Amino acid sequence: MHRTRVRIVEDALDANNTIARANREDFDRASVRVVNLMSAPGAGKTTLLEAALGELGAVRAGVLEGDVQGSLDADRIAHLHIPVVQLNTGSGFGGECHLDANMVRSALPALALSELDLLIVENVGNLVCPAEFRIGEDARVMISSVTEGEDKPLKYPLMFRTCELVVINKIDLLPHLDFDVELFRHHLDGVHPGVPTMLVSARTGEGVEGFRSWLREVAAREPVPV
Ligand SMILES: Nc1nc2c(ncn2[C@@H]2O[C@H](COP(=O)(O)OP(=O)(O)OP(=O)(O)O)[C@@H](O)[C@H]2O)c(=O)[nH]1
Ligand SMILES: [Mg+2]
């Protein structure tokens, strides 16, 4: 029984990877680089995008918002006059806790890929499932906010391991918390040795230019085969 269940999960992930490759071919054909932005609920994904995307210079950015229900985040991004599409995962019992490649594929007709250099996919707030599903992205970044505690890399290692950058957000709150940045980095290094981190406050703007530079660098990358 147990073997069968593992097999089903493997098949589902294989099917997802096949669709992720098709997404990636479409992105490459349109010369769009794609960032998968992940975090726990409320870590500051939308706030960071609001702070960063207005001043990307020549990079033409678009956003795909993933939420269980509603369009609150897409409405916030629309204020920046940036192309944005909302994807809801809420059909069925409780809604899906992540975006998968097929959901992203279903949103592609609503996106004018030829008018973009960079597509940022804000995944559903969750520290587990989004890390398991490729969507055809070029880069994965996650946000861990200082209100979540230093232990999160130890408790949710896959998410931290599969990202090429970890943004530590809400550093404006550090004076009010006992969050130990070095202890967090030590735990992170245990699960993903050498992964870069960025200290940011999406609220005050501190460190946001570093995140913008990273986005510009991703937008300028050559595609790497998946
Ligand atoms: N103090 C402080 N608050 C922040 C910062 N970034 C985000 N917030 C607040 O944190 C809350 C959640 O921010 P969001 O940007 O909506 O978080 P999110 O990750 O997009 O949330 P979901 O999409 O629901 O998963 C809001 O009240 C923000 O104002 C920050 O740098 N400092
Ligand atoms: Mg959000």
Decide: 26 and 113 in contact? Cβ < 8 Å: yes
Residue nearest (by alpha carbon) to ligand 1 atom 32: 170
What is the Å distance from ligand 1's center to 162 Cα? Answer: 22
CA 166 to CA 123: how far, in whole Å?
Answer: 15
Nearest alpha carbon to residue 185 among 196, 177, 175, 174: 196
Nearest alpha carbon to residue 140 among 127, 124, 121: 121
Q: Is the CB of 42 under 6 A from ligand 1?
A: yes
Mutate to test the pocket of ligand 1, among 47, 129, 179 (most ligand atoms within 8 A of CB): 47
Q: What is the SS3 assignment for 120? A: strand
Tell me the per-residue pLDDT of 22-71, one tens digit each, with 9 for 90 and over: 999 999 999 999 999 999 999 999 999 999 999 998 999 999 999 888 99
Predicted local confidence at residue 12, as pLDDT: 75
Q: Is the CB of 123 under 6 A from ligand 1?
A: no
Decide: 87 and 100 in contact? Cβ < 8 Å: no
Tell me the per-residue pLDDT of 69-127, one tens digit each, with 9 for 90 and over: 899 999 999 999 999 999 998 876 667 899 999 999 999 999 999 999 999 999 999 99
Please state, rounded to an integer, the average pLDDT across all residues of the chain: 93
Chain-centroid distance of CA 25 in Å reads 19
CA 43 to CA 145: how far, in whole Å?
Answer: 5
Rounded to 5°, angle at Cα 94 from 93 and 100: 95
Average pLDDT for 7-30: 88
| pTM of the predicted model as reported, rounded to 2 decimal places | 0.94
What is the Å distance from ligand 2's center to 75 Cα? Answer: 11
Give the percent of the chain with pLDDT over 90.
84
Predicted local confidence at residue 141, as pLDDT: 98
Q: What are phi and psi of 136, to 5 degrees?
A: 100, 15
